[in-house]
Amino acid sequence: MPARTPAQSQERQTFEPHLPMMPALAPSAIAPPAFPEPWDDAELHQLRDALDHTVHAGLAHLTAGLSPAAIVDAFMDWGVHLAISPGKQVELATKAARKWARLTQFGSRCAINCGSAAPCIHPLPQDRRFAEKEWSQWPYNFVQQSFLLLQQWWDNATTDIDGVTKQHQAVVEFVMRQILDMVSPSNFIATNPVVQERILETGGQNLVQGLRNFIDDWERIIRSKPPAGTELFRPGRRVAVTPGEVIYRNGLIELIQYNPTTEKVRPEPLLIVPAWIMKYYILDLSPENSLVRYLTDQGFTVFIISWKNPTAEDRDLSLDDYRRLGVMAALDAVNAVLPHRKIHAVGYCLGGTLLSIAASAMARDGDRRLATLSLLAAQADFREAGELTLFINESQLHFLEDLMRSQGYLDTRQMSGAFQLLRSNDLIWSRLIRHYLLGERTPLNDIMSWNADATRMPYRMHTDYLRQLFLNNDLAEGRFLVDGRPIAIRDIRIPIFAVGTERDHVAPWRSAFKIHLLADTDVTFLLTTGGHNAGIVADPNRTGASFQVLTRSASGHYLDPDAWIKIAPRFEGSWWPEWTRWLVSHSDEPTVPPPMGAPAQGYPPLCEAPGAYVLQA
C-alpha cells in the first residue's frame, strides 16, 4: 500500500476535528438500535383472539351456530373419496338410469290410465308430506314421485362411500336432507295441490290469514315472546299445578316438595333431577298426565329440582356447580326433611347424566344416601348419541364457544333451532305450510307449550358438557373428574332402572342401553314406544302405548341391544305402573307422611309450587 503524502495527511488532520467525538466501543456493542415493538407477544395473542372471536361470533349468528368450516370439511372428505371411487360412480349412474326408467314407466302408465297409476316408490313411514289424496292426481303424482326418487338417489350418493369418516358422512347426509326438505314440492303453492285447492275454496283468504300468522310470529320473535297459544298453559294455572311447597332456594335451583295424597307413604322419598335445558314441568304437566301427581298418588314423597333460567351474569357457572348447587344441595335438603332415609334418585335427560355423575362420585366417596337410581331417556356414554353428534367436533365447538362467549349463554332459539333441524319435516316445514300457506294454526297442547318454554345454557357449563361428555366421552371412559379425582359409573352398586324410547332423536335408546356396559350392578332396562318427551309422559289412561322390560343381575351376562329386543317380553300400556312396582320392591313398608320442609334445619316452606324460577323468561 503506498505511503501517504504530507498533503494527504494534512487534509485528514484538518477534517477529523469536525466529526462528533465517539467513545471506543467493543465490536459486539456496535449494533443497530433496538426499537420497541408496537405489541408484545401476549398483547398480539390477545388481539388475535379478540379478532377471531368477533368474526366467529358474527358468523355464528348468521349460521345459527353451525361452523362453515366443519361443513366444508365434511363435503371435501365426501367429494374427494367419491371422486376416486369409480365403482361407486358407476353404481350411482346405474341407479340414476334405473330411477329415470321407473319414472318414465310411471308417467306412461298415468298417460294410459287417465292420470292415475300405482306409485313406483312410497314415502318413508314417518313422511306424511304426500299423504293427502290430492297428491295421487296428475300431474302432482308425477311431481311427488320424481322428488321421492331424487331423495332416494341422494341418500345412496351420500352413504356407503369407502374412506369417508362416519361423522362426515352423517353431516353430508344431514345437510343434503335439509336441502331436499327445503325444496320439497309440498313447500310451494305451484306444486302443492292441497294448498291450491284451499285457495279455490276460500278465494285466497287462507293466504291472507297465513300472512297474518306470519306477521304475528315475526313480531313475537322480535319481541322474544312465546308462540301463540302458550299463554293458555302458564305454569301454576293449567300445568305444574300439583300442590307443593318450595322448601329451598339458592342461586341455581328451587327445590319443591309435593303434598302427600295418601294417608301413608313409603319411607324412601323420590328426588327428581330434570334436564336444565327445559323447564322442569315436563314431569308435571296437566293433572291427567303429570308423573309427579301419579307418584304422589302411589304413596311416594316427591321432591323435584326447578332450575333457574341463567342470564349473562351466570356465564361462569360450571358443570360441577350444577352438581354441587343442584343435585348435592337438593340431597342435603331432602335429608333434612327425612333424616336417615335413603333416597330414590330419578334423572331425566341431561338431569340423568348429571345424576349419574353425582351418584358415581358419591359411590367413590362412600356416600350411601341413595337407595336406587332411575335414568329416564338419559345417556352416560356419548359415542352413539344420535344426530346431535353432527354438531359436535373441534371446529364446531370452537365456533359455538365463540358464540356463547359473546352472549354469556346459549340462547333458547339457537338451541331449539338445532333440535328442530333434526326433524325438519315435522317441526319446520309442515308447520310453515299449515300456518302460512293453509292459513291454519296448530292448536297447542300442554307438551307443545312446554316445548316452547326453553331455558338458556351458561357458557362455561355448556362448554364443559359438550367437551367432556359429548366430544371426549370422559364419563364413560373414566376420565371425568370430580373434586380433582376421576369417577366411574361401575362404582355404583345400587339397583338401576333405565328407560329408553323407541323414537328418541335426543338420547337414542341404543345409547341409553349402554348403561349395561358401564354399571356393575342390577340393571332393569325398559324400552317404551314414543319419542324423547312423549314416550316419558306416558300416563296410564293413554291408549296405544307398549313397552319391553328385562332385568340383568350384577352377575348376569351381557346382551347386545339386538338380542335384548328379541327376548325382552312386551306389555301393553304405560310403563309408569311397571316402574312404580320396581320402586315399591326396593322400598320399606309405608309410614306417616313427613312434614313440609324442615324449618329447624333451615329449610322452611318459602312459597307454593311451582315457585319463581319456572316463571323466569
Q: Looking at residue 125, what is its pLDDT?
A: 85
Q: Which three cell numbers stand for residue 318?
A: 360450571
Separation of alpha carbons 527 and 564, rounded Å: 10
Separation of alpha carbons 334 and 594, rounded Å: 11
Range scoring the smallest mean pLDDT among 46-50, 231-235, 416-420: 416-420
Give catalytic residues, as residue numbers. Answer: 349
Torsion of CA 419, 425, 426, 432, to 10 degrees: 100
What is residue 558's DSSP assignment?
A: P
**Given pLDDT bands bounded at 50, 70 and 90, which one contains residue 324?**
very high
Domain ranges of the chain: 68-192, 244-383+400-411+456-615
Separation of alpha carbons 615 and 617, rounded Å: 6
Q: Other C-beta atoms within 10 Å of 384: how many?
A: 13
Separation of alpha carbons 30 and 41, rounded Å: 27
In the numeric block, the cell 293413554 is attached to: 542
Per the CB < 8 A criterion, the answer to whether 378 and 349 are in contact is yes
Residue 602: CB partners within 8 Å, gap ≥ 6? 336
Range scoring the smallest mean pLDDT among 294-298, 415-419, 525-529: 415-419
Separation of alpha carbons 596 and 236, rounded Å: 19
**Given pLDDT bands bounded at 50, 70 and 90, which one contains residue 18?**
very low
In the numeric block, the cell 322452611 is attached to: 604
Evaluate if residue 478 carries a pLDDT over 50.
yes
Q: Other C-beta atoms within 10 Å of 372: how many?
A: 22
The predicted-structure confidence for 423-432, as pLDDT tens digits, reads as follows 666 667 888 9
Mean pLDDT of 88-99: 96
Burial state string for 55-80 with b = 16 or more CB within 10 A and e = fewer than 16: ebbebbeeeebbbebbbebbbebbee
Mean pLDDT of 301-308: 98
Q: Looking at residue 67, what is its pLDDT?
A: 77
% pLDDT > 70, the chain: 89
The predicted-structure confidence for 326-359, as pLDDT tens digits, reads as follows 999 999 999 999 999 999 999 999 999 999 999 9
Separation of alpha carbons 263 and 244, rounded Å: 16
Q: What is the largest CA-CA distance in the chain?
A: 129
Residue 313 buriedness (CB in 10 A; 0-12 / 13-18 / 19+) = exposed
Q: Looking at residue 154, what is its pLDDT?
A: 96
What are residue 497's DSSP bridge partners?
374, 524
Identify the residue with better confidence: 474 or 417.
474
**Given pLDDT bands bounded at 50, 70 and 90, which one contains residue 4?**
very low
The pTM assigned to this predicted structure is 0.86
Mean pLDDT of 191-197: 96
What is the 3 state secondary structure string of 503-533? CCCCCCHHHHCCHHHHCCCCEEEEEECCCCC
Torsion of CA 117, 122, 125, 128, to 10 degrees: -60
Evaluate if residue 611 carries a pLDDT over 50.
yes
Q: Looking at residue 61, what is its pLDDT?
A: 65
DSSP code per residue over 133-153: GGGGSTTHHHHHHHHHHHHHH
Per the CB < 8 A criterion, the answer to whether 265 and 301 are in contact is yes
Evaluate if residue 403 carries a pLDDT over 90.
no
Per the CB < 8 A criterion, the answer to whether 184 and 145 are in contact is no
CA dist 346 → 355, 372, 377 (Å): 8, 8, 11
Separation of alpha carbons 197 and 597, rounded Å: 61
Average pLDDT, the chain: 89
Separation of alpha carbons 305 and 281, rounded Å: 10
Evaluate if residue 564 carries a pLDDT over 90.
yes
Residue 193 main-chain phi, psi, to 5 deg: -70, -30
The predicted-structure confidence for 7-17, as pLDDT tens digits, reads as follows 444 444 443 44
Per the CB < 8 A criterion, the answer to whether 141 and 158 are in contact is no
Evaluate if residue 70 carries a pLDDT over 60.
yes
Q: Which of 578, 329, 335, 369 is nearest to 494 (CA)?
A: 369
Q: How many CA atoms lie within 13 A of 230 on its CB side?
A: 17
Q: Which of 150, 223, 134, 232 is nearest to 186 (CA)?
A: 134
Evaluate if residue 139 carries a pLDDT over 90.
yes
Identify the residue with better confidence: 360 or 178.
360
Separation of alpha carbons 109 and 124, rounded Å: 23
The predicted-structure confidence for 404-414, as pLDDT tens digits, reads as follows 777 777 776 66
% pLDDT > 90, the chain: 70
- For 244-383+400-411+456-615, the fitting CATH number among 3.40.50.1820, 3.40.50.300, 3.40.50.970, 3.30.565.10 is 3.40.50.1820
Q: Other C-beta atoms within 10 Å of 358: how many?
A: 26
Residue 371: CB partners within 8 Å, gap ≥ 6? 268, 342, 343, 344, 494, 586, 587
Separation of alpha carbons 96 and 260, rounded Å: 65
